[in-house]
Every structure is written in structure tokens, then in C-alpha cells.
Amino acid sequence: MSAELNQAEAKLVECYRSLETVLREHGHQLAPFAHRNSIKALAALWQIMNGLDQDPGQIYDLGA
């Protein structure tokens, strides 16, 4: 079961996935300010994923 998303919600889901990928694959290329702010943003976007029933899993390994 996964909720049907409207266009705005779908964009946010895409945003989360994109940010997660950046951190997972390219996090080491980011300067501290970019890296830590990305993690903070990911932690906030995770709440949207969770609230939209997207089963975001855990992200402790990324520092969030």
C-alpha cells in the first residue's frame, strides 16, 4: 500500500531520492557546509516521505 501522490508531493519524493543519492554517492565531494546542510535537509524531507507512506527506511548511515 502506498498513497497516491499529487504532483507537488511527487516532486518532493523525487527531491528526497535525489538528495539521498547525492549524499550516498557523492557526499565525500561536498564541503562541510554543503554536506551537513544536506544531511539536515534530508532529515526534514524524511518526515515528508514518512508522512506520504513512502517507507523511507533508516538513514543513520548517512549521518541523519
Part of the chain binding another protein (CB under 8 A), chosen from 16-24, 27-35, 51-59: 51-59
Part of the chain binding another protein (CB under 8 A), chosen from 15-23, 24-32, 53-61: 53-61
Exposed (0-12), middle (13-18) or buried (19+): which is 31, by Cβ within 10 Å?
exposed
| Residue 14 in the binding site for another protein (CB under 8 A) | no
**Is the four-CA dihedral 9, 29, 40, 50 of positive or negative sign?**
positive
| Residue 52 in the binding site for another protein (CB under 8 A) | yes
* Side-chain-side CA neighbours of residue 38 (13 Å): 23
Binding residues (CB under 8 A) for another protein: these are 1, 3, 39-40, 42-44, 46-47, 50-53, 55, 57-61, 63-64
